[in-house]
Amino acid sequence: MGTNNHRDRRPLAVLVSSTFAFTICFAIWMMFAVLGIPIKTQLGLNETEFGLLVATPVLTGSLIRVPLGIWTDRHGGRIVFFLLMLASVLPIWMIGYATEFWHFLVCGLFVGLAGGSFSVGTPYVARWFKQERRGFAMGVFGAGNSGSALTKFVAPAIIAAWGWQALPHAYAALMLGTALLFWFCSYSDPAHKAPTGVTFAQQMKVLKDPRVWRYCQYYSVVFGGYVALALWMTKYYVGEYGFDLKLAALLAACFSLPGGVLRALGGWISDKYGAYKVTWWVMWVCWVCFFILSYPQTSMTIQTVEGSMGLDIGLGPILFTALLFVVGVAMAIGKASVFKFISDDFTDNIGAVSGVVGLAGGLGGFILPIMFGAVVDLTGIRSSSFMLLYGTVCVSLVWMHFSFKPGRQDTPAAQAAPLKRAA
């Protein structure tokens, strides 16, 4: 009886320890969202250089996701997750000694390893739960995205008290402690590993499936867009509304926090209503919000019968933050619904597929901040970042429209055949 009770507790222990570890990894992965602002001032960076600085960790965390997902299938999530966290401790610490722009870029590449933890934890957690509960379990784990908000709460206080160099040192110690805590609180199950005879080429055959590329597009919007905005919004508030670092980070957390925490809700909703319906409505909500957020601060002079009349159009900080909050909620739900697609369609190859889709989402999070900075440098319009996101959502809506037949019942059983004919 004791053994059975012990086994019954293992899935919950794995879920809790993995979610906590992922939260810390994500907080560290996103630390340049706050840390980059004093560095930008110190080095005199332009907008494009700032975008490159904050996006560099995202590049490594994205590129490594595919091999990490495959290694998780082969060797088990517990050992891969633990070693990944240990490998990132020293690079995080070294950021405190960087003095040149290229120093930060090199350190950022290695710090980005922490972002690959998503492709380890997702299949690791999913295999501990039955099919009908996987959407919720992966959603709870994915709520570790709220680490982005954690950085916005903690980092400004540390920087204000001890200087920006103290932040990477504090985060390195936190990562080391988290790795040890995860190891002693998690479990492994040999039955969760892929068969030893499965080759890399066999695992990567999923790239021939058009469904994988559709999910990559969706995820590049809901996750890539989330990462990009989480990195960009603190600076946006500072530049657009003139707020100080603490207030700007706090308001940016109004987007980051729901964008992470509510992913569990997205998993539950996707289990109940189906991945297609949920993803479709998420895209429409983002489309409307990005359209409004795209409009720049505008002053016009209108000629009336009584003479000239001035008209100012623009979003104040309250309405802007409210719209960002709605986008954060939608993206949280969308991130979970995309992975519900994966768990339904690729049950035996979750690690490899989640790695590929996670790579696409991460690359979106890497490319978009650089594009944000480049467009601002070219046009001088800060809201141009939302114009870019509006365009990506349009692509996803068009693709979904032509890939799925409207009105079809969206259940795993009903999806199997139609999805193969789509696209």
Specify if 3 maps to a domain.
no
Gyration radius of the chain over CA positions: 22
For residues 96 and 166, what is the distance between their CA atoms, to the nearest angstrom?
7
Provide the residue-wise pLDDT of the chain in tens; the chain has 423 residues: 444 444 568 889 999 999 999 999 999 999 999 999 999 999 999 999 999 999 999 999 888 887 888 888 788 889 999 999 999 999 999 999 999 999 999 999 999 999 889 889 888 998 888 877 777 788 788 888 888 889 988 999 999 999 999 999 999 999 999 999 999 999 888 877 766 556 666 666 767 778 888 888 889 889 899 989 988 999 999 988 989 888 999 999 999 888 877 877 887 888 888 888 898 899 999 999 999 999 888 888 888 888 888 887 778 899 999 999 999 999 989 988 888 888 777 766 776 787 788 888 888 889 999 999 999 899 888 889 999 999 989 988 888 877 765 444 444 444 444 434 333
Contacts 24+ apart (CB under 8 A), 383-386: 383/293, 383/294, 383/295, 383/296, 383/297, 384/294, 384/296, 385/228, 385/229, 385/232, 385/236, 386/290, 386/293, 386/294
For residues 36 and 53, what is the distance between their CA atoms, to the nearest angstrom?
7
Predicted local distance difference test score (pLDDT) of residue 69: 80
Domain tally for the chain? 1
Predicted local distance difference test score (pLDDT) of residue 84: 95
Specify if 1 maps to a domain.
no
For residues 26 and 335, what is the distance between their CA atoms, to the nearest angstrom?
15
Specify if 82 maps to a domain.
yes
Specify if 64 maps to a domain.
yes
Predicted local distance difference test score (pLDDT) of residue 132: 73
Closest CA to 282 of 271, 294, 269, 272: 269
Is residue 234 within 8 A of residue 260, CB to CB? The reply is no
Specify if 291 maps to a domain.
yes
For residues 373 and 382, what is the distance between their CA atoms, to the nearest angstrom?
9
Q: What is the pLDDT of residues 22-64, one digit of tens each?
A: 999 999 999 999 999 999 999 999 999 999 999 999 999 888 8
Helices 350-379, 384-403: crossing angle, 10 deg rounding? 140
For residues 423 and 419, what is the distance between their CA atoms, to the nearest angstrom?
8
Predicted local distance difference test score (pLDDT) of residue 355: 74
Predicted local distance difference test score (pLDDT) of residue 6: 47
Antiparallel, parallel or unpaired: β 307-313 and 298-304: antiparallel
Is residue 170 within 8 A of residue 158, CB to CB? The reply is yes
Q: Which domain covers residue 370, as residue numbers?
A: 8-421
Specify if 2 maps to a domain.
no
Residue 316: CATH number of its domain: 1.20.1250.20
Identify the helix (H) or strand (E) that includes residue 186.
none
The number of C-alpha atoms within 13 Å of 220 and in the hemisphere containing its C-beta is 24
Q: Give the three-class secondary structure for 140.
A: helix
Specify if 260 maps to a domain.
yes
Specify if 148 maps to a domain.
yes
Q: Which two tokens stand for residue 67?
A: 């091999």
